[in-house]
Structure 1
Amino acid sequence: MIRGLHEQKRHCLRTLTDRQDEQSIETQIERCQATIDQHGWHLVETYQDSAVSGTSYKRRPGIQQLLRRVEHGGIDIVLCLSTDRLSRDVAHSAQIGKKLSYHDVELWTARANARISDIEMNIGAVLSQEMVEQGRYRTREGMRTTVQKGKAAGGIAYGYRVKQAYDERGDRIPGLREIDEAEARIIRWIFEEYAKGRSPKELAIELNSRVPPVPGPRGAKWRDTAIRGHVSRGSGILNNELYIGRVVWNRREYRKNPDTEKRVARPNSRDEWIVTEQPDLRIVSDALWTAVKKRQMEVEQSFSRTTTNRLNRGHRPQYLLSGILECAHCFGPYAIMARDRYGCTNRQKKLPVDHLGGIVCTNSKTISRFELEERVVSALPDNLLGTDNLDRINREIKAAVTHGQQRATMEPDRLRTEISTIETKQKAIGEKIAERLMAGHAAIPALDQMLDDLEQQRLTLSKQLATAPPTNSPTATQALNGGLLRSAIAAVRTMLSTRENGVEESWISLAPPTYPESGDRTIGGRQIGGADHPWPPRSHPGRPGSLA
């Protein structure tokens, strides 16, 4: 972020990367620094997102830090190498542009050495997003062709290694693989032992305890989930059809959830699968494969008939603290081990922990779910629920109401300005489409969609302007009293103790007692609700029946 020596402005420099190396980052910084020196600006801060996709938004710490700094004020310019460094997603670019405009911050690029208008930013985002989609399509089609030729289109599965083969020119032929006999023996042993009746958990424990140790997939420790996998998805050692010489590709496709920005797998129909036979990659016989599939069906049927244990029917239920408990000893998850009792998952599965020197977690303490939820709710800090916050809360309420009334007064003018801005964007996009058609270029559907979206926005704003209420006189705010606050606190406690969903943006750590004979358990964590102040660990004396 920079301040002009002559214009008396403050500005912000930010360089972003889209999965690029450190050399690329340095190049972007050098280009931006040249622009800063040319205009005589003063650099305040630099932000970067190393090796993070430009199609993401929430998962990029650099852009989030930049926007928070812009909201803080005192910044006039955001500088980046080009608009595609800012974002490669139309929706995200529009959101960033709106925030910069709201705070009167200009967007500049070092490549253009000029200010970038909203329409230039939006058109650049459309072209960047289209380029990303085309790249994904070409990559997918290239992988399809590779699989149809009998080559590996992705990573090498456990039990195989890269085959060193060369063509007549001496160049290595990519995508070839061959059986790794040492790992193949482990795979056959897993299949044989599972067919005899042993569980994936027992097999993982034995493999991890062997001397010398047997590395698991990707060199990690063996876990029961790596062996068991998911039958319908074809994942895991016991479900990989490559071990019987059959390559199955395109079983699933991945889409990014727009809310979480995480990839979510979706199964494809069987007619979309690409299946090829490669007998030279077979590790397991048909008889052994059939025996394993038969036992998997028997296990599934036995679980489906169970009516006494809810955990055996579908997904585990979600409780108040689900997903936010961790063991303070091994930092692994705390989950339901028995009937409504939490315990360390790593210890229950007897998984070696690397940062503990390869031993199994020693935290054997369990705790009742009801007791833990009661203690967590009771441990909500006084600075969150205390009545000493009345004056501060009343001031914030009054400021919020006053701000809302001021915005209501300026609302008609703001709506007219936004409508005029949208009409300018529509005209610019129409001209861009006409230029492409005159030049004989193919139409871009995203530009047509952008015009439709802008028209919908214009109609919505016009309706809001037509129905905007007249400006009213300031309204006096009612002060919050202690009794009302205590009622609100009681409602919050009731909600936290009865809700079924887990608490987001929180974590709670459970530790074994310092002195085992005391039977105490220590619970500590960050304040529920994402508050900035951690609440200290609290010990609670053990009660009969509270410890396993």
Structure 2
Amino acid sequence: MSQPKLRAAIYARYSSDLQRDASVEDQIRSCTEYAKAQGLEVVATYSDRAISGASLMRSGMQALLRDARSGAFDVLVSEALDRLSRNQADIAHIYQEFCFNGLPIETLSEGLISEIHIGLKGTMNALQLKDIAMKTHRGLKGRALEGKSAGGKAYGYRMKPQLTSSGEVIRGEREIQPEEADVVRRIFANYARGLSPKKIAEALNKERVPAPSGRHWGASTIHGNRQRGTGILNNELYIGRQVWNRLRYVKDPQTGKRISRLNPESEWTITEVPELRIIDPELWEAVRSRQGALKTKGTSTPVWDRRRPKTLFSGLMACGCCGGGFAKISKDSFGCSPARNKGTAVCSNKRTIKQADLEARVLDALANHLMDPDAVQVFCEEYTAERNRLKAAAAGNRKEKEQALARAKRDHQKLVDAIIAGIPADQVKDRMIELDARRQLLERELEHTPAPDTVVFHPSMAEAYRERVSRLIRTLGSAEGMEEAKEALRALVERIVLTPAPEGTGLDLTLEGDLAGLLQLAAGAEGANTKKAPDDRSEAFDISEEIVLVAGAGFEPATFRL
């Protein structure tokens, strides 16, 4: 009886520097041929196109890591280690994930990946990535010194491709785009006359003037940040002066996202390009003068760069008309930001709500409505069914691994018997080492795959939830533990949608509760910094680790209209 084939997954990626979409298909074809030659069955392919290997924030890579945890395949095949990542820390993280899940990684270039490959190749890839960045930066600086574009296209200009005598394309040349240049002059003139960025944006949106982003004008698009040189009013290219390398970008190791940092002025590259001037020096100075006058009294921070203190539900409110955010418009009121910053052409919802009214209505809903007994019963039935389905799948996966372990032991014993019978040991040595490694790997994996049990929710779940929410609300009134209570309550809210009421001048509120957060609190998992009551029954239904997984498996958030 033939043994079932190992299931293989293929990952392919090409970075933006290669600029060849067919590269992914080439990699998948080569990896497929390799898998078939190794007797593997390809069951899944993952790819990322035109994405740098310096970050793990790629849809294909994230799907690969997620499916690796669920046991969707037995081995990963890729063209080379640098296709998975060029970042040394990221490639080590990927390898650790696959080791934890008992999954080997094989590449066409390096073969079966081990710790040695991770150390040596990871270092080489990281150095190569740094070398590419240095050469790119050097090349861009050369273009900047020549007055050419060194990245990005400013509003008011368009690229002007030119050819050399040999027919090669000269890149980086720009010219003024007349229609956009007129808009830039209008913005500068209106601002110098006293109009606010918000009013200017509102007028442009009303006239359907295309914005730099292709969507709508906003006040921040116009005023930007003076120190960083962002925004229409701060772009020195409009007076014929190109400033390059004002900002540098670094990757946050926790989020994988790039953030900007201001470089010292000594590192800026400033080049005069008078042929690209759109704004007269006199108008530019008038704008700068008004910007200086609008700085906050007693501080160097402009009005638009001030940050108000965070309120209990700030960042969670959304307009029911346009989908934009609700923000503070006065000391104690919230309103739709797009309606006020971009004008009625974007949103006409000008109704407001008092902060005290909003918080009282939301807290009442959290305490008394989002986890009523009927809703809890539905949640528990759906959650229990999904959780038990996943437990059953895990049981099947464990059974397969137990069978594979038994086969590995049997095959190893057969080779031992063959040596005893007189077959030379050197003929079966490699196979014995392979089977022994397979045995150890499966045994380690089974240690981390406990036998499944059935999930049953505690019948007092709704009462426990209400008691804990009431306790958190009471904590808001005391100095000790107030911040922790705020964070715990915010974690229960997915979104608060504010829509104009059909009758009257008020707003209807639709509260969407985060199902994972609600179930965690109901199950007693309030967070590491929250003290539990002595009579807490959380041990009877301790499912905090699995809740997020199941709540994300197609469940809608709990919703209540206030």
Same fold (TM over 0.5): yes
Q: Which amino acid is 1:107 matched to?
A: I
| Deviation for aligned residue 1:144 | 0.6
Match of 1:516 in 2: 503
Q: Structure 1 residue 90 and structure 2 residue 85: aligned?
A: no
* Matched residues, number: 438
What is the rounded CA distance, in whole Å, between the counterparts of 1:173 and 1:96 in structure 2?
41
Question: Equivalents in 1 of 2:165, 2:309: separation in Å?
Answer: 60
Asked whether the 8 Å contact 1:303–1:312 carries over to 2, the reply is: no
- Does 1:382 pair with 2:371? yes
Alpha carbons of structure 1 residues 366 and 14: separation in structure 2 relative to 1, 3 Å: same
- Equivalent-residue separation in structure 2 for 1:370 and 1:5 (angstroms): 71
Q: Is there any run of 5+ residues in structure 2 with no aligned partner, and where? A: 388-457, 518-547
2:313 touches 2:359 (CA, 8 Å); kept in 1? Answer: yes
Distance in 1 of aligned mates of 2:172 and 2:115: 45
Q: Are residue 136 (structure 1) and residue 123 (structure 2) matched?
A: no
Q: Does 1:507 align with 2:482?
A: no
Match for residue 326 of structure 2 among 328, 331, 334: 334
Quote the offset at 1:121 in angstroms: 2.9
Q: CA deviation at 1:383?
A: 8.3
Match of 2:415 in 1: none
Counterpart-to-counterpart distance in 2, 1:195 and 1:130: 50
Select which of 54, 58, 61 maps to 1:63. Answer: 61
CA drift of 1:141 comes to 0.7
State whether structure 2 residue 534 is matched by structure 1 residue 534.
Answer: no
Q: Distance in 2 between matches of 1:183 and 1:375?
A: 47
What is the SS of the residue equivalent to 2:295?
helix
List aligned pairs for 1:475-490, cutoff 5 A: 488-490=468-470
User: 1:363 is matched with which residue?
Assistant: 349
Deviation at 1:503, TM superposition (A): 4.3
Q: Deviations over 1:7-60 (max 9, x none)?
A: 654443333443465422222221221122223322333223334332212x22
Partner in structure 2 of residue 217 of structure 1: 212
Q: Corresponding residue for 1:325?
A: 317
Structure-1 separation of matches of 2:469 and 2:183: 58
State the identity as a percent. Answer: 33
Question: 2:79 matched to which residue of 1?
Answer: 81
Letter in 1 for 2:282: A
Please state how far the C-alpha of 1:522 moved relative to its aligned partner: 3.2
Q: 2:223 is matched with which residue: 228, 231, 234?
A: 228
CA contact (8 A) 2:205 2:342 kept: no
Structure 1 residue 303 displacement after superposition: 8.7
Render the CA deviation track for 1:490-545: whole Å, top value 9, x for unaligned.
Answer: 444556894366946963141425623495613132516465443443222xxxxx
Change (3 A) 1:374 1:218: closer
The alignment partner of 2:293 has SS state of: helix
Q: CA deviation at 1:304?
A: 5.2
Q: For residue 400 of structure 1, what is the aligned residue in structure 2? A: none
One-letter code aligned to 1:216: A
Q: Which has the higher mean CA deviation after the structures are superposed, 129-138 or 523-532?
A: 523-532
2:337 match: 345
CA RMSD of aligned residues (A): 3.6
Equivalent residues of 2:353, 2:506 under 8 A apart: no
TM-score normalised according to structure 2 size: 0.69
Instruction: Report the AA paired with residue 47 of structure 2.
Output: Q
One-letter code aligned to 2:217? W
Instruction: Answer whether contact 1:226 1:237 (CA < 8 A) is retained.
Output: yes
Q: What SS does the aligned partner of 1:338 have?
A: coil
User: Per the alignment, in what secondary structure is the counterpart of residue 248 of structure 1?
Assistant: strand
Aligned partner of 2:191 in structure 1 is 194
1:316 equivalenced with 2:305 (yes/no): no
Give the Cα separation in 1 of the matches to 2:491 and 2:152.
34
Aligned 1:48-447 pairs, distance under 5 A? 48-57=47-56, 59-73=57-71, 75-112=73-110, 114-210=111-207, 213-301=208-296, 314-351=306-343, 359-380=345-366, 381-382=370-371
**Contact (CA 8 Å) 2:312, 2:490: kept in 1 or not?**
yes
Three-state SS of the structure 2 residue aligned to 1:15 is strand
Indicate how the Cα distance of structure 1 residues 488 and 504 shifts in structure 2: closer, same or farther if over 3 A, else same.
closer
- Look up the SS of the partner of 1:507 in the other structure: strand
Report the CA distance between 1:140 and its aligned residue: 0.6
Aligned residue in 2 for 1:420: none
Distance in 1, Cα, partners of 2:113 & 2:300: 64
CA separation of 1:105 and 1:313: change in aligned 2, threshold 3 A? closer
Distance 2:65 2:492 in 1: 20
Residues 493, 22 of structure 1: CA spacing in aligned structure 2 closer, same or farther, 3 A cutoff?
farther
Are the equivalent residues in 1 in contact too, given 2:237–2:243 (CA < 8 A)? yes
Amino acid at match of 1:516: E
Mean alpha-carbon deviation: is it higher for 68-77 or for 231-240? Answer: 68-77
Cα distance change of structure 1 residues 495 and 523 upon mapping to structure 2, 3 Å threshold: farther
1:18 maps to which residue? 15
Does the Cα contact within 8 Å between 1:5 and 1:42 map onto a contact in 2? no
